[in-house]
Amino acid sequence: MRGLVSSLLLAVNCLSGAALAAPAVEKPADIRSSGFVYCVNGQVNTFNPQMASGGLTVDTLAAQLYDRLLDVDPYTYRLVPELAQSWEVLDNGATYRFHLRPNVQFQTTPWFKPTRALNADDVVFSFQRVFDRQHPWHNVNGGNYPYFDSLQFPDSVKSVRKLDSNTVEFRLEKPDASFLWHMATHYASVMSAEYAQQLTKVDRQELMDRQPVGTGPFQIGEYRAGQYIRLARHPKFWRGVPLMPQVVLDLGSGGTGRLSKLLTGECDVLAYPAASQLTILRDDPRLRLTLRPGMNIAYLAFNTNKTPLNNPAVRHALALAINNQRLMQSIYYGTAETAASILPRASWAYDSDSKITEYNPEKARQQLKALGLNNLELRLWVPTSSQAWNPSPLKMAELIQADMAQIGVKVIIVPVEGRFQEARLMDMSHDLTLAGWATDSNDPDSFFRPMFSCAAIRSQTNYAHWCDPKFDQVLQKALSSQQLASRIEAYREAQDILAEQLPVLPLASSLRLQAYRYDIKGLVLSPFGNASFAGVSRENVEVKKP
């Protein structure tokens, strides 16, 4: 623990070549009296969740650095106010009006000192940048907004305008019943328009996403790539001063290394522990374990742009070879449910009639032979780090490799680190990939459009590269009605199409796991992603408020 603290006090920070200065806050000598260490595996490619397709930025950092217009209650799964204290749905879901909370303060950092509270200009800037391709900020740092691009929002949002200093109106080209839910995801973070103006004046727009400014409970204190991020509390946070002065995200080790740090006390919280570690975690009286149903899915994606995987019959034959029950036992140890649909069972549109793909290697061999496929060789691309939907991707890949060998198919495993989902997978050279999806929305559209729409190929979230105009039409039908029964019917049709075409094979919907030291209090594990750390404290440790 002391070694980690010492390195925190001496570090020089850098992100993508840009120096990242530490805020002028007092650095306590012992993190045990001033914060906690959160161990998580991941990389930071941007601090702007609008420009990320998942990972550490969206799953963990967004809830600390930024706020959204709306939030989702982790227990009731209902929309609740955040920056918008109220809202209206007009024109049958084609217009949405938000009334902002007064006196919400932005963070003061060495690189920005706000002169005003949040207002409608900030909301307009944050979303015009994303939705308006002609906006001067749209192409800064690449111009890719994977989640919203996959939803075709740049084409479907007609305007974002300020009605007065506390009121913002979104007008859509046509009704979209899922719109509020997308505004409640961590991708929909609100930025500072005043900070953007300041960076424009000095021609340093690229710093917007590297040296972040938000209204969230914590701000960036220090960052060292691949090692740690120190978060310092935002003393003017609108919900009240966060209980702990700092939080350290330890990025430095994975697997058993992170478990060891938890057991020795160098980590206070272990995010996404491997299911195989549950016995150790449960038996240690110094630890607590939280499990919640997760809005996530692990799946095997077929590259439908490559022969022979462009043939649904081939995809179905390969699916028969995978022993899903063994995956459940060897990877999840009872912490996941075999997936019959791409939607988790917790979704209100889940089709209870969905059938799990049977395990029948003999039938798989016969079908491949009938298709004239002998000595088939496939490359399976696999992320190396544990994820919310898959604690052991490489081990799962090895099990699938062994299953495929039983039917005469050679699978070559290609481990891929870093930005494999955003970049290398999209060059389409892979045959198969182990992937997954998690969302902080309870609307089924948050699964279907980002993963399977034709637009999601361009936005780099459709790893199967599968495009079916009929499927897209069904999704649009589901969005056009505010009636739940009509939407459920449309989404059942969508699930039928996916079961027939099988662009991806659903594998598991897993519980969200989190292990932490016994003296950590107030840690909330949400089905939709990490919640704010503002209410976390350490038992029997009194912390001073600023």
CATH of the domain at 143: 3.90.76.10
Q: Mean pLDDT over residues 140-167, rounded?
A: 94
Same domain, 265 and 363: no
Q: Which of 66, 105, 84 has its CA nearest to residue 168?
A: 84
Q: Which of 215, 243, 278 is the C-terminal boundary of a domain?
A: 215
pLDDT one-digit tens code per residue, 290-348: 888 888 999 999 999 999 999 999 999 999 999 999 999 999 988 898 999 999 988 88
Question: Is the model's pLDDT at 418 over the cut of 70?
Answer: no
User: Which tokens belong to 437?
Assistant: 């999806």
Residue 80 CB neighbour total at 10 angstroms? 11
Q: What is the DSSP letter of 443?
A: S
CA 79 to chain centre: 18
Q: Which of 215, 246, 275 is the C-terminal boundary of a domain?
A: 215
* Cβ atoms of 119 and 166 closer than 8 Å: yes
* Cβ atoms of 302 and 315 closer than 8 Å: yes
Phi-psi region of 330 (alpha: psi -120 to 50; beta: other; left: phi over 0): alpha
pLDDT one-digit tens code per residue, 160-205: 999 999 999 999 999 999 999 999 999 999 999 999 999 999 999 9
Asked if residue 362 belongs to a domain, the reply is: yes
Sign of the C-alpha dihedral computed for residues 158, 495, 385 and 417 taken in this order: negative
Q: Mean pLDDT over residues 63-81, rounded?
A: 91
Q: Mean pLDDT over residues 480-488, rounded?
A: 91
Domain that holds residue 158: 67-215
387: CATH: 3.10.105.10
5: confidence class by pLDDT, cuts 50, 70, 90? very low
Asked if residue 45 belongs to a domain, the reply is: no
**Cα(471)–Cα(288) distance, integer angstroms:** 44
Residues contacting 358, CB < 8 A, separation 6+:
320
Q: Which of 215, 249, 267 is the C-terminal boundary of a domain?
A: 215
Q: Which of 516, 537, 127, 45 has its CA nearest to residue 287?
A: 516
User: Which tokens belong to 285?
Assistant: 């009286």
Same domain, 366 and 230: no
Helical H runs in 157-274? 179-183, 193-201, 256-264
Same domain, 361 and 489: yes
Asked if residue 60 belongs to a domain, the reply is: no
CA 236 to chain centre: 27
In angstroms, the Cα distances linking 250 to 27, 269, 481 are 17, 10, 45
Q: Mean pLDDT over residues 528-539, rounded?
A: 87
Write the secondary structure of 276-340 as one string of H (helix), E (strand) and C (coil): HHHHHHHHCCCEEEEEEECCEEEEEEECCCCCCCCCHHHHHHHHCCCCHHHHHHHHHCCCEEECC
DSSP string, 340-393: SSSS-TTSTT--TT--PPP--HHHHHHHHHHTT--S-EEEEEEESS-BTTBS-H
* Cβ atoms of 5 and 31 closer than 8 Å: yes
Q: Which run of H or E residues covers position 438?
A: strand 432-438
CA 325 to chain centre: 26
544: confidence class by pLDDT, cuts 50, 70, 90? low
Lowest mean pLDDT among 212-221, 387-396, 486-495: 387-396
pLDDT of res. 12: 29
Same domain, 14 and 103: no
Question: Is the model's pLDDT at 539 over the cut of 50?
Answer: yes
Same domain, 164 and 187: yes
Helix axes 120-131, 193-201, angle to 10 degrees: 70
Q: Which of 379, 505, 493, 488 has its CA nearest to residue 435?
A: 505
Q: Mean pLDDT over residues 54-62, rounded?
A: 89
The count of structural domains within the chain is: 3
Residue 333 CB neighbour total at 10 angstroms? 15
Sign of the C-alpha dihedral computed for residues 397, 403, 404 and 406 taken in this order: positive
388: confidence class by pLDDT, cuts 50, 70, 90? confident
Q: Can you give the pTM of this predicted structure?
A: 0.81
Same domain, 72 and 203: yes
Q: Which of 143, 169, 171, 145 has its CA nearest to residue 157?
A: 171
Asked if residue 193 belongs to a domain, the reply is: yes
Cβ burial of 158 (10 Å; 0-12, 13-18, 19+) is middle
Same domain, 9 and 76: no
Asked if residue 220 belongs to a domain, the reply is: no
Mean per-residue pLDDT over the chain, rounded = 88
Residue tagged 């079961």 (tokens): 499
pLDDT of res. 417: 75
CA 178 to chain centre: 18
254: CATH: 3.40.190.10
Enumerate the β-bridge partners of residue 260. Answer: none
The phi, psi pair for 94, rounded to 5°, reads -100, -10
Q: How do 336-338 and 377-383 pair as beta strands? A: unpaired
Same domain, 108 and 156: yes
Question: Is the model's pLDDT at 399 over the cut of 60?
Answer: yes
Q: What is the DSSP letter of 153?
A: H
In angstroms, the Cα distances linking 68 to 71, 82, 181, 237, 280 are 7, 6, 11, 14, 37
